[in-house]
Amino acid sequence: MRKIFAFLLAYFPVSLFSQDIVIKDGWKFKTGDEPQWSYANFNDSGWAQIEVGKPWELQGYPGYDGFAWYRLHVVIPSTIKEKSFLKEKIRFDLGKIDDGDDVFLNGSMLGRNAGRGGDIKKGPYDIPRSYTIPLNDRRIKWDADNVIAVRVYDHGGDGGMYEGNYGISVTDVTDYISIITNQPFEFGPSRKITKKIGLQSTTDQYDFTGKLGIAIVDPVSGTTVFKQTIGADFAKNRPFEYTFSANLPETKSWQVVYHFVEDRSGKDITVSEGIPYILTPPIGKEPRINGPKVYGARQGAPFLFRIAATGEKPLSYEAVGLPQGLQLDKKTGIISGSINAKGNTVAKLTVKNKSGVASRKLTIICGDNICLTPALGWNSWNCWGLSVNDEKVRTSARAMFEKLADHGWSYINIDDGWEKNRNQQGEILANEKFPDMKSLCDYVHSLGLKIGIYSSPGTLTCGGFTGSYQHEKQDVQTYAQWGIDYLKYDWCSYAQVAPEHPSVDDLKKPYLTMRDALKETNRDIVFSLCQYGMGEVWNWGPEVGGNSWRTTGDITDSWKSLSGIGFSQYKSAPKTLPGHFNDPDMLVVGKVGWGPSLHNTRLTPDEQYTHISLWSLLSAPLLIGCDMNQLDSFTLNLLENDEVLAIDQDPQAKPAKKIYDKNKIQVWTKELEDGAIAMGIFNMDDLANKQQLSLKELNLAGSVKLRDVWRQKNIGAFTNLSVQLPPHGVWLLKAVSSSLSQKTSK
C-alpha cells in the first residue's frame, strides 16, 4: 500500500486527471484569422510549431494581441471506448485559453468560450476548456487522423493556450465522482489534526459504493504514519462525509492521500494534499520594531509612515531626531507632516510596553526617490478580480491594520474594476461600486496605511474599463485629490496605440508620459509598471520612473506558474536597486479567486513557503492576493515572519543570485546589510530530494554558522549540509561569518 501511495504522490501531487491520450505535443500555430483554418483537409505543413501550456509571447510572438490559430492532428483509437466502463462520452481537455476561443473538430464546431454577448474578444481566460460529445458523434473519426483546430482571440497581455491539462478521454464512472477536500484542517494539542472530507456524485443516473483509503505520508521518507480505509456509499443528493483525526509526529511537511475505488467498475480516483504546518514562532510579548529601515520621501509631499511594531498592546512610540516638519503620534505610531528640506536624517525610533523597550534607527531620505524598499501590501486582483468594491477594500484595510501592519505591511491597492467614464471636463469618475474615493482614501490613511489604484496608458484597461490615454495629467490630479499613494500602470490596450512591433522607445513612451505627470503632483505616488517584461523592462524601468516593473505575465496558483515565473528571475535580478524592483507578480497564498468566488490556493504548503522565500530573496514587492478577511493561521504564518520579511526589506536591496543549479536543487543567495548571506535551497523536483551539499560548493568557506530563518533558530556551524526537501520545498537559511564569491549559475 505504501508503495502505491508513494507512486501516486509522485505523479499526481494535486489531483488525478485521467486522460487516455495526452495531446501536449505536435501543435501548429499561425497568427491571423481565416475560416479555412478549421478544415480537416487544410494543409498546415508550413505552420510554425508551438508548445501548449505556455503563452505565445514566450515562444517568439512578444506583445502579439489579436487572432491566432492552433491546429493538432491526432489519431483517436477505438480501444479507449472499449476499456471504459460507461461507454457514453468523449472529452477534449484544452487547458486555459487567453482570452476567448472557438474549437473545431474536423471542421465542425465543437464548442466556444466567449464573454458577454457571445463576444470571443471577452472570453474567460481563467477557465479550463473541456468539450464533451457523445461517443457516437459523427464528427469523430475513430482510428484515423482527426484535426483539432482552436481559434483564439487575445485582447492584451499573455495570449493563447497558456496553461492546463491537454488530453482526450472517454468519460467514465470517476468523472462523476469528486473527493471533496475543501474543508480546512483543524489543529489541536499534540499536533492533532482533524479534517472532514466527502465524496460527491454529479449524476443522478447512478448510486455509488466503494472504499475510501486515507493515508498520511512523510513525503521525504515515504513512511506512512496514518492509514484508514472506510466503506462509502453516496448518490447525487446524498453525499458521503467523513471526519478523520490523526496525531502528527513532528511539525514538518506531511501529505494526505485520499484514494477511492468504485465497487462496480473497479475504477479509482486519487487526490492528495499537503497539511499546512506553521514554522513561524509565536509573536513575543516584548516590543519589536519591524518594517523598512530606510524610507524615501519628496520635499513638501504629505508624509505618512506608521512605525510597525509587535508586542503586547498597549505600545507607546517615540521618535528622536525626525526631520523638521514631521510629527509623531505617540499613541498610534503614525509619523505625518511634510519635510521642508532635502537631505538624509537618521531618526531613533523607540517602542515601549510593560514587557520592555525596543529601539531601531530609521533613515529618512528626502530627495527624488521614494519606495526605497519593496512595497508590502495587498492588491485586489488575485482575489476579487473585477468584482472589487469599496466595502471589500475597507475590510481589507481593516484586516491589514489588525493583523499585519505591525509587521510592516502598508499598501492597500485597488486593481482594475473601479473606473466608470469621464465627465464633461474629462475627469475620470469611479463607478457605483466606489461611491466616494476620497473618503475611502481618508479611511485607509486614518489607519496609518496607504492606498493604491490601477490604470492603463491605453484607452481601455485589461478588464475593459476606461484607461488614461491622453488624460494622464488629469488622472494624476484626480488621484492626488483623492489621496492615492500608488499607481499600477498596465499596458493592456495601449497595444492598439503603439506600433505593431514596438521598439524599446515605443515601450518606454507611455511610461515616460505618466512619470512626468506624477512628477508634477505634490504627492509621493509609487509608480508600478505592468507590461509583462516586454523589451526587458528591467534594463530601463528606473529611467522611466518605475519603482517596480512586472517581469512576466500574470501569476496563477499553480506550481507551473509560480516556478516558471520565480525561477526565471535570474535574468532580471541583477538590475534590482533600492527604489527600483523587479516584480514577479502578486502573491498567490490564502483564498484567491480572481472574481466573486474564492478557493484555497492550489499551491501546497511547501510551495507557499517557496513562494514567500524566493520573493523575499528577490526583493520583490510583496502584494498579498487573497481575501484579507479570511486569513487562516497558516497564511498568517507565511506573512508575519519578521526575519523573512527583513530579507525582502533589506535596505541595500542587493540582487539575488542563483549560485547553484544541479540535481533539481537550486540555491539562491542575497547579501544582507548586516554582512550575513540569506540563502534559499529550493527543491525543483516533483519528488522529495535528499542530497549532501558541501558549503564550499556554495562558495561558503570554512565552517559556517547557519540560522533557519522560518523557524528563527540558530542550527549550528556546518561545512556540509544534509538537504532533505519535500517536493517543491525550501530551506531558507541565513549564513553568518562566510565569504561568498560572486559566481552566478545560469
Q: Which of 461, 478, 551, 556 binds ligand GAL (CB under 6 A)?
A: 461
Q: Which of 462, 639, 693, 732 binds ligand GAL (CB under 6 A)?
A: 462
98 binds ligand GAL (CB under 6 A): no
587 binds ligand GAL (CB under 6 A): no
DSSP assignment string, 133-164: EETT-TT--BTSEEEEEEEEEE-SSS-EEEEE
How far, CA to CA in Å, does 320 sit from each of 201, 233, 255, 316, 448?
Answer: 66, 69, 51, 14, 19
Q: Report the alpha-carbon distance of residue 327 to residue 329 in Å, rounded.
A: 7
Specify the residue, 95 or 533, whose C-beta has the smaller distance to ligand GAL: 533
Specify the residue, 381 or 469, whose C-beta has the smaller distance to ligand GAL: 381
DSSP 58: G
User: Which residues have C-beta within 8 Å of that of residue 612, sequence separation ≥ 6?
Assistant: 587, 589, 622, 638, 639, 641, 644
Q: What's the burial of 415, exposed, middle or buried (CB within 10 Å: 0-12/13-18/19+)? A: buried
Neighbouring-strand partners of residue 621:
none
DSSP assignment string, 385-428: GGG--HHHHHHHHHHIIIIIGGGT--EEE--SS-EEEE-TT--E
Neighbouring-strand partners of residue 146:
74
Q: Which of residues 352-391 bind ligand GAL (CB under 6 A)?
A: 381
Specify the residue, 364 or 603, whose C-beta has the smaller distance to ligand GAL: 603
The tally of CA atoms less than 13 A away on the side-chain side of residue 535 is 17
Instruction: Specify the stretch interacting with ligand GAL by CB under 6 A; choose among 140-148, 159-167, 360-368, 455-463.
Output: 455-463
| Residue 437: alpha-carbon gap to chain centroid | 27
406 binds ligand GAL (CB under 6 A): no
Q: Is 154 a catalytic residue?
A: no
x-marked contacts with ligand GAL along 643-662 as a string, rule CB under 6 A:
--------------------
x-marked contacts with ligand GAL along 492-511 as a string, rule CB under 6 A:
x-------------------
Specify the residue, 550 or 657, whose C-beta has the smaller distance to ligand GAL: 550
Q: How far is the CB of 284 from ligand GAL (least distance, A)?
A: 36
SS3 498: coil
Specify the residue, 172 or 419, whose C-beta has the smaller distance to ligand GAL: 419
| Residue 68: alpha-carbon gap to chain centroid | 27
Q: Report the alpha-carbon distance of residue 9 to residue 17 in Å, rounded.
A: 13
583 binds ligand GAL (CB under 6 A): no
Instruction: Specify the stretch interacting with ligand GAL by CB under 6 A; choose among 6-14, 296-304, 457-465, 510-518.
Output: 457-465
Q: Report the alpha-carbon distance of residue 746 to residue 743 in Å, rounded.
A: 10
Q: How far is the CB of 82 from ligand GAL (least distance, A)?
A: 46
Q: Which of 102, 554, 627, 648 binds ligand GAL (CB under 6 A)?
A: 554
User: Which residues have C-beta within 8 Å of that of residue 306, sequence separation ≥ 6?
Assistant: 332, 333, 334, 335, 405, 410, 448, 449
463 binds ligand GAL (CB under 6 A): yes
Q: How far is the CB of 221 from ligand GAL (least distance, A)?
A: 40
Instruction: Specify the stretch interacting with ligand GAL by CB under 6 A; choose among 273-281, 309-317, 349-357, 459-467.
Output: 459-467
Across the beta sheet with 100-105, the strand order is 48-50, 27-31, 66-75, 145-154, 100-105, 108-113
Q: What is the dihedral of CA 112, 113, 119, 122, to 10 degrees?
A: -150
Q: How far is the CB of 382 from ligand GAL (least distance, A)?
A: 8
Q: How far is the CB of 415 from ligand GAL (least distance, A)?
A: 5
Which residue type does 675 have?
A: G
490 binds ligand GAL (CB under 6 A): yes
268 binds ligand GAL (CB under 6 A): no
DSSP assignment string, 628-651: GGG--HHHHHHH--HHHHHHHT-T
5 binds ligand GAL (CB under 6 A): no
Q: How far is the CB of 456 from ligand GAL (least distance, A)?
A: 8
Pick the closest to residue 184 from 633, 539, 666 (CA basis).
633
x-marked contacts with ligand GAL along 514-553 as a string, rule CB under 6 A:
----------------x-----------------------
Q: How far is the CB of 534 from ligand GAL (least distance, A)?
A: 12
Q: Report the alpha-carbon distance of residue 694 to residue 721 in Å, rounded.
A: 6
Instruction: Specify the stretch interacting with ligand GAL by CB under 6 A; choose among 233-241, 252-260, 276-284, 458-466.
Output: 458-466
63 binds ligand GAL (CB under 6 A): no
How far, CA to CA in Å, does 238 sit from each of 92, 203, 208, 209, 254?
Answer: 29, 11, 10, 12, 31
Total chain residues near ligand GAL (CB under 6 A): 11
Q: What is the dihedral of CA 710, 714, 717, 723, to 10 degrees?
A: -30
157 binds ligand GAL (CB under 6 A): yes
584 binds ligand GAL (CB under 6 A): no
Q: How far is the CB of 566 from ligand GAL (least distance, A)?
A: 16
Q: Do residues 378 and 624 lie in contact, with contact meaning Cβ atoms separated by under 8 Å?
A: yes
Specify the residue, 280 or 493, whose C-beta has the smaller distance to ligand GAL: 493
Q: Report the alpha-carbon distance of residue 497 to residue 597 in Å, rounded.
A: 34
Specify the residue, 160 or 605, whose C-beta has the smaller distance to ligand GAL: 160
Q: How far is the CB of 385 from ligand GAL (least distance, A)?
A: 8
Q: Which of 101, 416, 607, 642 binds ligand GAL (CB under 6 A)?
A: 416
Specify the residue, 163 or 416, whose C-beta has the smaller distance to ligand GAL: 416
Q: Is 390 a catalytic residue?
A: no
Q: How far is the CB of 682 from ligand GAL (least distance, A)?
A: 25
Catalytic residue among 485, 490, 557, 627: 490
Q: How far is the CB of 628 from ligand GAL (least distance, A)?
A: 17
Q: Report the alpha-carbon distance of residue 314 to residue 331 in Å, rounded.
A: 8
415 binds ligand GAL (CB under 6 A): yes
Cell of 37: 483554418
Catalytic residue among 554, 557, 606, 648: 554
Q: Which positions touch ligand GAL (CB under 6 A)?
A: 157, 381, 415-416, 461-463, 490, 492, 530, 554
Q: Would you please indicate which residues are annotated as catalytic (active-site) residues?
A: 490, 554
